[in-house]
Structure 1
Amino acid sequence: MPTNRQVLFAISLISFALIGFALYLQHAMEMRPCPLCVIQRYLFLAVGVCALAGAIGGKIRAGAILALLAAIGGLVTVGKHLYVIANPGFSCGIDPMETMLNKIPTAEYLPWLFRADGLCEGATDAILGLAIPQWSAVWFVVLTVLLGWVLLRTSRTGRA
């Protein structure tokens, strides 16, 4: 059975790989990210960084709690994204959220990663039968379950 530390390293690796895949879709497949996609990138990054910091620093519980909060934020965001796709008249296209996101320093200094210039309701291209936001939902659920499992194990054993 993997240790909590190994699970946090795996969660971190998964999160960073998902961001890498999003960059592939953006730059190689020319799929422009929308504001909700960019928020999900921030949250996957937060999950990965918190899990990695917890694993490296030996603060398993703290890292897992912070990563879990980010994963739950991701579930909320992707839930809104799926709602937008299911209700085409409800769009988050060019709106104040996009303008605000694109003015955050990370978007200004790393536009290739954090610039939002797509339409949320247009994120329907399927990969293996699911749209990108649906895959995002699947992965946020997986990460949430894994982080919950780590927290349950740490509370039962009282150690990392």
Structure 2
Amino acid sequence: MQLASPRPLFFLAFLGCVLLMAVALYLEHVVGLEPCPLCIVQRICVIGFGLVCLVAAIHGPARGGQRVYAVLALLFALGGAATAGRQIWLQSVPPEQLEACLPGLEYMIEAFPLQEIVSKVFRGTADCAEVNWTLFGMSIPEWSLLGFIGMLGFAFYQLLRRR
């Protein structure tokens, strides 16, 4: 059974992103886990995906618009999945092969040019490789990657579905 309007699905995807961000903020402010630069990039991707879905749900686009929103959502999901994959890889690298921890993001914004900040953030460092919390044996980036895979599936479904 297919829904005639993409609005409800886009809204459900938006609610899923709200839930993911609520979990991230809970882990930061209640559990006390500080997000690393790669975690922040993943949060930006979740927020971007969620905002695209919210705008699509409000707009209720026709087929062409649905595809545009799906492509935008797909780009955020791909960026998030790539970042989560990078962090998972960093967690498998021996600590002595990783760069030292980065200074805080606020300091980097004041002290470094944007290109250098982006380069440092995406390279990741020792603080991105720490596993501070797990659930069912999976770290936060592994759970994040699962979420982004779900987002990718949703975006592809919206991109390819027929009315």
| TM-score of Structure 1 vs Structure 2, range by shorter chain | 0.7 to 0.9
1:93 pairs with 2:101: yes
Unaligned runs of 5+ in 1: 104-117
Q: Select the residue among 59, 76, 86 that pairs with 1:80.
A: 86
Aligned to 1:39: 41
Residue-by-residue CA offset, 1:72-128 (whole Å, 9 max, x unaligned) = 00011111111111113324731597854688xxxxxxxxxxxxxx92111342112
1:86–1:43 distance in 2 versus 1, CA, 3 Å: same
Structure possessing the higher radius of gyration over alpha carbons:
2
* Distance of 1:102 and 1:43 partners within structure 2: 23
* Distance of 1:78 and 1:94 partners within structure 2: 18
Are the equivalent residues in 2 in contact too, given 1:71–1:140 (CA < 8 A)?
Answer: yes
- Amino acid corresponding to residue 128 of structure 1 in structure 2: F
1:123–1:92 distance in 2 versus 1, CA, 3 Å: farther
Regions of 4+ moved over 6 Å:
none
1:50 is displaced (CA, Å) by 0.4
* Distance of 2:79 and 2:47 partners within structure 1: 12
Are the equivalent residues in 1 in contact too, given 2:33–2:132 (CA < 8 A)?
Answer: no
Q: Which moved more, 1:10-19 or 1:57-66?
A: 57-66
In the comparison of the two structures, how many residue pairs are matched?
141
Aligned to 2:13: 11
* Distance of 1:2 and 1:29 partners within structure 2: 41
1:102–1:135 distance in 2 versus 1, CA, 3 Å: farther
Aligned to 2:131: 123
What do you get for the CA RMSD once the two structures are aligned?
Answer: 2.4
Aligned to 2:55: 53
Are the equivalent residues in 1 in contact too, given 2:74–2:152 (CA < 8 A)?
Answer: yes
Residue-by-residue CA offset, 1:47-94 (whole Å, 9 max, x unaligned) = 000011112112322222111110000011111111111113324731
1:64–1:7 distance in 2 versus 1, CA, 3 Å: same
Aligned to 1:133: 141
1:102–1:147 distance in 2 versus 1, CA, 3 Å: farther
* Distance of 1:93 and 1:21 partners within structure 2: 25
1:29–1:57 distance in 2 versus 1, CA, 3 Å: same
- TM-score (norm: length of structure 1): 0.78
Aligned to 2:153: 145
* Distance of 1:102 and 1:67 partners within structure 2: 31
* Distance of 1:8 and 1:92 partners within structure 2: 41
